[in-house]
């Protein structure tokens, strides 16, 4: 399973644009139309309200700075939960649509170290201990 990641970095304006693209694509996906778990992931109305909350806090400017940060954090948590679900249950065509949107990427896997650590040969320490006894 490839882990999917939402492009959440950048300014609030860029984030809002990415979120708008994400939800537009999401609503068109086969998994959203046929196999959506509203009880776990929220209905389309719920998702629209979360996006609208961020949009309103963004429009409020400096007046709603703390609320905007909270709204962005909450929206990002919702999006990541959705992407986790999609990575497990969606068809490849749905995943490809999200990747083609430019706002979702595959998270690179951590590379595991496959090199062998060199350990000093035990024979050298034996020779030293024998010489010290002489």
Average pLDDT of each block of 10 consecutive residues along the chain (134 residues)? 88 94 96 94 95 89 80 94 95 95 85 62 56 55
- Other residues' Cβ atoms within 10 Å of the Cβ of residue 32: 19
Predicted model pTM:
0.76
In the chain, beta strands by DSSP E: 4-6, 104-106
Backbone phi and psi for residue 50, each to the nearest 5 degrees, phi listed first: -65, -40
């Amino acid at each position: 399973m490839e882990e999917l990641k939402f492009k959440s970095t950048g300014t609030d304006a860029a984030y809002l644009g990415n979120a708008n693209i994400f939800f537009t694509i999401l609503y068109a996906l086969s998994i959203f139309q046929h196999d959506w778990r509203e009880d776990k992931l929220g209905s389309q109305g719920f998702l629209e309200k979360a996006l609208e909350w961020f949009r309103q806090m963004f429009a409020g400017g400096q007046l709603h700075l703390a609320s905007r940060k909270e709204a962005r954090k909450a929206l990002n948590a919702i999006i990541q939960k959705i992407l986790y679900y999609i990575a497990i249950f969606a068809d490849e065509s749905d995943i490809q649509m999200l990747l083609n949107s430019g706002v979702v990427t595959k998270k690179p896997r951590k590379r595991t170290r496959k090199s062998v650590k060199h350990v000093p040969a035990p024979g050298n320490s034996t020779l030293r201990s024998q010489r010290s006894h002489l």
